[in-house]
A and B are shown apart, each in its own frame.
Chain A
Amino acid sequence: MPVGVQNYTTHFFVTGDPLIYGVDVSIILVSLAIVYVLTRYRKWGWLWREWLTTVDHKRIGIMYLIAALLMLFRGGVDGLLMRTQLAWPNMHFLEAEHYNQIFTTHGTIMILFMAMPFIFAMFNIAVPLQIGARDVAFPYLNAISFWLFFFGALLFNHSFVIGGSPDAGWTSYPPLADLPFNPGPGENYYLLGLQISGIGSIATGINFFVTILKMRAPGMTLMRMPLFCWSVLAACIIIIFAFPVLTVALALLLIDRIAGAHFFTMFDGGNPMMFVNMFWIWGHPEVYIVVLPAFGIFSEVVATFSRKRIFGYSSMVASMLAIAVISYFTWVHHFFTMGAGPGVNSFFAVATMIIAIPTGVKVFNWLMTMFQGRIRITTPMLWTLGFIPNFAIGGATGVMLSVAPADYQYHNSYFLIAHFHQVLIGGTVYGMLAGMYYWWPKMFGFKLDERLGKWAFWFFNIGFYVCFLPQYLVGFMGMTRRVYIYPPGLGWEIPNLISTIGAYLMGVGFILIVADVVYSIRYGERDLTGDPWDGRTLEWSLSSPPPHYNFARIPRVDSRDAWWEMKQRRQRGEPMEEPEPLRPIHMPKNSGVPFILCVAFFVAGFGFVFNWYVFSVIGLLTVAICLFHRSFDYDTDYYIPVEELEHHEAALGRT
């Protein structure tokens, strides 16, 4: 083989690591298997018509959910690999370089490609149904958002086998992330993967903001909305204002790297700390973006399974809006040690402590809702109950970290690692799993098995404490984050070993969740009523799964917990209104353009990663053509005629 070609292939494909060869083989096998199954059962057309071109929020929600679970798996395997390496002093399981890559991809994937799609899954699945709408405000844009996320994540994940993974941490600080210290495509993957999916996130924020403000059923005033919708509204406000800052920061860093600019370089007037500043202007609000929807889900779950109205509704709303605004005023707590001076540090320390107050209010409200309620311990409720002590500890250690002088001790130690895993896992992941178990029957028409679900919860929950409590300890003993090896004799052995055992317990928990899904597809209890949990909000008034138009008649709402009130009235034997006659329903048409548009983004991104600008030009041109096409496309919607509606409703056993 000519040397040029040989060099080229060894640089293009990542070589030399048996782990990665293993992955190469499994990627190829899985891809072949998928192609085989699709071809064998003639499912290509089905895939295209029903999924790749869909603009239905329920299907988009399901695709987000699947993607989030896959990414949770990949991120989780990364976590287990790291914990294996750290289980004992002087381990030689991962090399330094490989370890750096793994903590970088782990962090990035967990936040941007697991937590974000998971919350978007819940947005899509629940919001339109809860407010009595037939879809989101901009269904076509919603499809674009999903595919941008999907291809952004796909691009990022390619780094693993093609070109090499990024290794400057999920925060990607320059100067380490600058070209001189980080040649090769890894960091470009990070920048472009995040950039592409970030456009999608901004669009989702706008989409759901408008949906909630403009598409509520008649009578559903803002203060009658389910709390989950409020939490989504608050999260969307944060997305709209925070994500553009990330977009700018990433774009400037990319320009530094591929066009030789000096925004964040060490010399020539650049200032690397400015990137840190901008990253966290987005980064802190981001943690609230992923945790507020979890709060919303807990509120729904607690009310349903305590059979009570949520306690302190308006204080819940007020605290979420307060969090949405205050979260912009705390960002320096991620770099107190930069030394911006006592004035700056004090201001941001106090702002950080203040934000704990509305959060505390919410915890008390959940507890008061359960007080004297008729509590049913179902799987969603278990995750909610598990969340409360988790968040209490995570919140307390957060306030410890917010004390700026003390943070000089804790900063970048395992104490910090334990803290943010406690709030991210205990808050976001528990919340999303609660939501997944809660809305699963609504989406798929069957419940997930409760017994397996409870086993999964206990493995995960106990594993969590076993994994992360020792890390507080070992942090106090001086172990810093992002170390790949440590010598014996520091007293770190035992806590690290325990921690690794805990991580594997959580792994078992995850496997049990997957097992639960697989088992329940066959044997799960079918949901024939549409209201398996005796719910309170409008989504439970529909059949499971709901028809593609959701509501044959848009419901009229005159109180909070609208569906619960309707059921109460029916029980008291109050006369029901005559249902209005059905009318044709206005629906958006499916379209393949969002998918093609995002493939084009992927191609353009790939071109930027490897500085092969031909690809970038082709990709961006295709993007422009797609946008142009859409601007002049007037055939975007249709009406479902009444006969068809009657037919559908009759098939669902409804009138």
Chain B
Amino acid sequence: MAHTSEGAARHAASGPPWMHIIGFVLSIVLTLAALWLVLGHAMRPAPLFFTIMVLAVLQIAVQLFFFMHITESYGPAWHVWMLALGVVLVVAIVAGSIWIMTFGGDVAY
């Protein structure tokens, strides 16, 4: 319990919440960029998918660093381990699904 109030105090002491403001702006920009790419038919489908994926990954990074305090921890940084495992599993799930759903051939889904 004491931990949380300490942490809150530290944040409160540092003036306007710049981290949150920057993060907020960045995440809005990333979202609008994706929306614009899709609505404006700015690219052919394959590169479009790829670009949107990149934007999504950047979005995750923004969330983690600016809002989810990934760099802070009292004691062992379990959340970083969990995130690392999460990355491994997400890659396995995405890559595995593509491998499975292309039916061993080149039928693209």
Contact = CB atoms under 8 A, between A and B. Distances in A.
A281 B93 contact: yes
Interface stretch (B9-17, B23-31, B100-108): B100-108
Interface in A310-333: 325, 328-329, 331-332
A77 interface: no
B7 interface: no
A245 B93 contact: yes
A589 to B, nearest CB: 13
A328 B92 contact: yes
A342 to B, nearest CB: 7
Nearest to B100: A340
Contacts of B97: 274, 277-278, 281
A27 to B, nearest CB: 42
Interface string B84-109: 01100100110011011101110001
A237 interface: yes
Contacts of A237: 82, 85
Interface residues of B, number: 19
Contact of A213 (B78, B85, B93, B105): B78
B6 to A, nearest CB: 15
B1 interface: yes
A376 interface: no
A340 B104 contact: yes
Interface in A405-441: none
A344 B104 contact: yes
Nearest to A273: B101
A331 B78 CA distance: 27
Given A241-B85, A281-B93, A341-B103, A274 B109 contact: yes
- Select the residue from B75, B86, B96, B99 with max chain A CB neighbours within 10 A: B96
A480 to B, nearest CB: 24
A354 to B, nearest CB: 15
Interface in A207-245: 209, 213-214, 237, 240-241, 245
Contacts of B78: 213
A397 interface: no
A339 interface: yes
Given A241-B89, A271-B109, A277 B104 contact: no
A630 interface: no
Interface in B38-96: 75-76, 78, 82, 85-86, 89, 92-93, 96
Size range of the chain A interface in the assembly: 20 to 34
A168 B101 CA distance: 22
Contact of B89 (A209, A278, A328, A341): A328
A271 B1 CA distance: 49
B100 A329 contact: no
Contacts of A274: 97, 101, 109
A232 B1 CA distance: 24
A209 B105 CA distance: 41
A105 to B, nearest CB: 29
A654 interface: no
B104 A328 contact: no
A240 B82 contact: yes
A344 B96 CA distance: 9
A125 B1 CA distance: 23
A556 interface: no
B34 to A, nearest CB: 18
A92 interface: no
Nearest to A345: B104
B1 A344 contact: no
Interface string A332-349: 100000011111100000
A214 B103 CA distance: 45
A412 to B, nearest CB: 19
A586 B5 CA distance: 14
A325 B92 CA distance: 11
Interface in A334-388: 339-344
6 contacts: A271-B101, A273-B101, A274-B97, A328-B89, A340-B101, A340-B103
Given A241-B85, A328-B92, A341-B105, 19 more contacts: A209-B82, A237-B82, A237-B85, A241-B86, A241-B89, A245-B93, A271-B101, A274-B101, A277-B101, A278-B97, A281-B97, A328-B93, A339-B103, A340-B100, A340-B104, A341-B104, A342-B104, A343-B99, A344-B104
Interface of B: 1, 75-76, 78, 82, 85-86, 89, 92-93, 96-97, 99-101, 103-105, 109
3 closest pairs, A vs B, by CB?
A: A341-B104, A340-B100, A213-B78
